[in-house]
Amino acid sequence: MFVKLVPNQAWIHTQVCSSCCRLWKRPRQWVRFFGYSYRVHFLYKLRRCSIDGNIPRKNMLSTSAASNQSERLWNQQGTIPYQIPPKEMVQLVDMQLDHTVSFPPGYPKEYMLVIDSPSLPSIEELSRPELRLAGYRIHPSTFTPSRMSFVSNIQIWQLSNSQPKCIMDISQSLKAFLLHSKNKEACHSTYSLEEEKEYSLKLCDIHWAPDGRKFTFCVFKPQFGLQLWLCDIEERQVYPLLLERNQKLHAICESPVKWFHDSQRLLIHLVSNKTSLKNSPSIPQGPFIQHHEEQREAPARTFQDVLKNSYDEACLEYYCTSELAIYDILDKSCKSLPLEPSCFTGTSISPDDKYILIEEMTRPYSYLFPASRFPRKIEIFHIQDASTTIVAELGLQEHIPIDMDAVPDCPRNFQWRANVDATLCWVQALDQGNPKNQVEYRDALYCISAPFNDHPILLFKLKWRLEDIDWSDNEYTLVWEEWYQSRSRRVYSCHIPLNIERKTCTTLLSHHTIVERHSFCINQPSMVSDLECLWDIPNWKDRYHLPGYPMSRMKTFGKWTLRTIDFLKNDKSPFVYLIGPGASDKGDRPYLDILDTQTKRRWRLWQSSPPYYERCIGVYSEDDQQQITQLLISRESPKQLPNVYVVDLPSFYEIQQKQTYEENGHLVDTWNNIVSNKPSHDSCIKPLTFFEHPFPGFLEIQRELVEYDRQDGVKLHANLYLPPHYDPKKSGPLPTFIWAYPQEYLSSDTASQLRDSPFRFVHLARSPLYWLTQGYAILDGPEMPIIAKEGDGHPNDHFISQLVSSAQAAVDFLVERGVSDRHRIAIGGHSYGAFMTANLLAHAPKLFCCGIARSGAYNRTLTPFGFQMEDRNLWQIPSNYIEMSPFMYADRISSPLLLIHGELDNNDGTHLLQSERMFSALKGLGKVVRFLKLPLEAHHYRSRESVLHVLYEMHQWLETFCR
């Protein structure tokens, strides 16, 4: 399975050239013979061997024994047929390693969905017509996103005290339904057996009903669109909805289906038949003009797929327009809401099922920003009397600063309060959305309750940005605020009344929106004044000291709320469950704790134990007090696929008297049978899934989580992968491929922390691990931390020096371990990793023998209003933008560079132009460079043909310049 020889390569077994190679390598090695050369030598010594002059440059990318067709393909420019890499890589691409498992709401869990992922789509599927409008990518014939993710099958498993068993298979149930004589003719127009043979089954948008006894899913048919189906698990049946109406779902702007909390009704988006689209004018109507005369700044990052003309505006409006309807499952009726079809971009049902919050996209549109910045109208639809209440009319959001802490200068984040009938909440910036403005408070939270005819209530103000709110089933609430510039986060506990006293209106407000009404009471005091800091997190990247995250549960209103336990019969200070990564210098060991919010004392209920990596994925059962009795966990090991298990937990009363100790600054009580070096699978754990590795031959890969030091003392970590049975003392160094991605940090201590576990499963089906099958050593994810100097706060001020230092440390480590030699180490990366690769070849030209850069950006002056996490513009720090642009230092690149880019890259800042210009620069400077442009591919490559061809190109490049 693991080979070193590659198709279309000629090898001979002979003495090495005496001029230089024998000085550092044993004789009688595998070497490659080059056409038009009368000498033999090692390929990886090309750049330094004294006989390089005997090898014509035009033949450096081919071999004498390669077929004429293969040689022509490798040297040909323009369009070539798709190629495939070695068969071992093809097997990895086509194998399915991961399975998705979904559990219904409610406890205990009665059912489980096992969801199969399909194989990669074909290039033919990507070739269907696609519209790219204001950030949306649309299939015009189906009114769906053009790059949707699908699943190939769903199995329903029943969970019982004995072994779980499969009780339904959706693909089989669909076929049985189609074969039924009564339904065969009725379904012919939208779903036929002939069509089933032509296309593989594509399912998406799986949604559990709140009662956990049924779920909806959509079937995608390329000639029709999305058809809505219902699976009733109790009746063991699946059947289509909307079949009589022959209507398809509209899924461009958001999920087309939402459950009401009674589990009997669905809110659905339907394609409107009340709108039309005129043909594009064949003759230009006039020049295109953009104009700006305001003094207020309107910075824009390099957004993709923006609108270009008035016809694009008409297309956007036509394809984003939908109708809203309510489908009743009991009487199988579908009633459209009495609203005009519009561009509905968001909907949310109130907890009491009486109101629908609707977000609608309106004009004027922008030619510089995506649809997410376009004007919006927020309104509440009253289901009982079909009336509407306008919440806000928000303008075009084009004045948001590029700072990471910047937000719109208008109300945002409209959502229902989860623990009461119908109360709408939203956030308002108090600093005009600009973090540079110095104010005491930056965000405020407002709310208003049904029937929404009063003044809004100011709940509280925060000194940073509001990140999240955890509502509980009672008044107890957790409020999260953060500030990105310092990577800081605070969590407050407070008590917000369930029944808020309404503010009586003294002014006629019928012509004002809800948001406008608070201007009449702008100076009202905050209702909540008891914000108590539960945790103060100075740096959220400091994983060793994270306090954990609260668990939630679905309860009264069918909404997810904070999971609390009132052991002391005191609603003011309940107990909460916390899950965390359990990070330490020994690796991640996720845990489950219970916290007393009054004393801040915590007890550990469960923690991952070696030799496994385990993490909490949910609750399996609870008792009458809502105390967790059984936990759902995912367990994996380096040779075992992740599987789902049920763990029995001790009760709180069992662990109250156990000894307390302090861990990472937090008080933790342990239960010796759970938290120990002994695995917890002996007596209190039961498997629910039994996924096996499809190719056991790949299990002997060697993986090691390694640590080494950078020159400045920063500890770095990486995953070192070696082929099976490889021993550097016996076999010598291997050709090595490094794949990395830079990260930013504010302190060396945080950057030095370990962010992985040595017990994770080895997923081979990804770059760069494919090359383990070809005899390469792989250093995956070596940390390339870019650290701000103390008191500076801007990591990119020292980007190049730290990047080179990190790469040098990785190379030195590999050489010292005997795994690699300095002349056969390649570097590669995707996106920001491609940017890293080009910079390393430019600023450390002798460190790597070649590079592979996929979908990157190389000229930062083409992204003048920020990139990655940099929130200063080009005119503020021109020297940084130029120094960080490998395009500006292309003349220093001496190692061969392979550039790969998707033709339709949709990522901000990585336009195809970046790779095109980089290739032109390197070619003009006489460098060895190859540019691969993938038709129809975006920032991440999807089609099987493209993925295999990328691996083929990368493999040929590595074999040529690294082997």
CA 785 – CA 709 distance, rounded (Å): 12
- What is the SS3 assignment for 52? helix
Q: In the annotation, is 731 catalytic?
A: no
* C-alpha radius of gyration, the chain, whole number: 30
738 closest CA partner among 767, 779, 766: 779
**DSSP type of residue 619:** E
The alpha carbon of residue 922 and the mean position of all alpha carbons in its chain are separated, in whole angstroms, by 33
Structure tokens at 439: 């104010």
Burial, 901: exposed, middle or buried (Cβ in 10 Å; 0-12, 13-18, 19+)? buried
**DSSP type of residue 617:** E
- CA contacts within 13 A on the Cβ side of 361: 24
CA 638 – CA 762 distance, rounded (Å): 5
CA 500 – CA 183 distance, rounded (Å): 53
**What contacts 518, CB < 8 A, 6 or more positions away?**
428, 446, 455, 456, 458, 524
CA 441 – CA 462 distance, rounded (Å): 5
Residue with tokens 């239960």: 671
- CA contacts within 13 A on the Cβ side of 318: 17
CA 703 – CA 722 distance, rounded (Å): 7
Phi and psi, residue 330, nearest 5°? -65, -50
Instruction: Determine how many CB atoms are found less than 10 A away from the CB of residue 705.
Output: 16
- What is the SS3 assignment for 943? coil
Phi and psi, residue 838, nearest 5°? -65, -40
The three state secondary structure string of 501-562 is CCECCCCCCCCCCHHHHHHHHCCCCCCCCCCEEEEEECCCCCHHHCCCEECEEECCCCCEEE
Pick the catalytic residue from 431, 454, 473, 905. 905
Pick the catalytic residue from 831, 855, 915, 946. 831
Structure tokens at 402: 């590029």
Contact 452, 502 (CB under 8 A): no
Contact 825, 962 (CB under 8 A): yes
Pick the catalytic residue from 939, 943, 946, 955. 939
Contact 366, 305 (CB under 8 A): no
Q: In the annotation, is 831 catalytic?
A: yes
Structure tokens at 918: 């980089």
Structure tokens at 403: 């700072």
**What contacts 622, CB < 8 A, 6 or more positions away?**
107, 108, 553, 628, 629
Sign of torsion over alpha carbons 687, 692, 697, 702: negative
Sign of torsion over alpha carbons 853, 859, 862, 865: positive
CA 405 – CA 487 distance, rounded (Å): 10
Contact 838, 886 (CB under 8 A): yes
Amino acid in the structure at residue 584: S
CA 57 – CA 48 distance, rounded (Å): 15
Angle at 713 between CA 709 and CA 717, to 5 degrees: 35
Buried (b) or exposed (e) across 477-490, using 16+ Cβ within 10 A? bbbbbbbbeebbbb
Pairing of strands 111-116, 100-102: antiparallel
CA 845 – CA 838 distance, rounded (Å): 10
Q: In the annotation, is 905 catalytic?
A: yes
Contact 600, 534 (CB under 8 A): yes
Structure tokens at 74: 């490798």
Q: Which sequence positions are flagged as catalytic?
A: 831, 905, 939
